[in-house]
Amino acid sequence: MDNAVYIVFSATPTGMGSLIRKATRNRYNHVSLSLSRDIRKMYTFARLHRTIPLYGGFVAESILRYQSFAGAARVKICRVEAPEPQFTYLRNCLERLWNEREEYIYNTPAALASLVHLRPSIARAYTCVTFVQELLARHGLAGVGENDPPTVRSLERRLAPYVIYEGPAPAAAGDWGEDTYPVETTTRYAVYTTARHFGRLALRVLEGIA
């Protein structure tokens, strides 16, 4: 068994991704974590469907996300060894998160605040960066700390010694698996899920203040 985790930085081929890269002046705007070298399946916090950019949560991304709709994405892959028992703990953590994924949502306020290196804390809500940082820090990997700046650029710098590949997203055959990204949605569904997403965020903020 390859007891290693693979951190995948990507320049996602979407309008939102392009805007984020322009705002941050960074080559990459997204980060995911995979337990396999072929990165066909990656875990992160991101949009659930291609057609609803502001509705997001915990997802199992297919590599096909980076090879469809708007062209191929550029990626940077880092390999971090994770000896036992850290690897088993991390794998079990991902399995638990996946089983409880309906409880976890994308931390939209934190994504905006990360532009000025702030990290608004909302219960059971993450961005792609805070998710990967917390997992690596919690399991003592690559010297990542939970208080590191919550930006893709900062995490890139921390993982610079672990880079094994940089270039176009690797070609991969197969289906979308558990990734719902290509599912077509109606306007009504998009409005409902987006409103519900921000409603859940607001409720959790209020619960945190109370």
DSSP string, 115-142: GGT-----TTEE-HHHHHHHHHHHTT-T
- Name the average pLDDT for the chain: 91
pLDDT digits (tens, 9 = 90+) for 65-116: 887 656 678 999 999 999 988 999 999 999 999 999 999 999 999 888 876 6
pLDDT of residue 188: 97
User: For residue 103, what is the DSSP state?
Assistant: G
* Number of domains, the chain: 1
| 162 pLDDT higher than 80 | yes
Give the Cα-Cα-Cα angle 42, 9, 7 (nearest 5 degrees).
55
The predicted model gives 142-169 an average pLDDT of 94
CA pair distance 193, 47, nearest whole angstrom:
11
pTM of the model: 0.93
| Mean pLDDT, rounded, for 26-50 | 95
**Looking at the predicted structure, is the pLDDT value of residue 34 above 90?**
yes
Positive or negative torsion for Cα 197, 182, 43, 145: negative
Structural domain of residue 160, as residue ranges? 4-209
Give the Cα separation of 134 and 107 in Å (integer). 14
Q: State mean pLDDT over 13-23.
A: 85
Confidence bin at 15 (pLDDT 50/70/90): confident
Q: For residue 131, is it left (φ>0), alpha (ψ between -120 and 50) or beta?
A: alpha
Q: Nearest to residue 65, comparing CAs of 186, 169, 189, 185?
A: 169
pLDDT(209) > 90:
no
- Residue 171's pLDDT is 76
How many other C-beta atoms are found inside a 10 Å radius of the C-beta of residue 55?
Answer: 23
Q: What is the pLDDT of residues 171-187, one digit of tens each?
A: 776 789 999 999 999 99
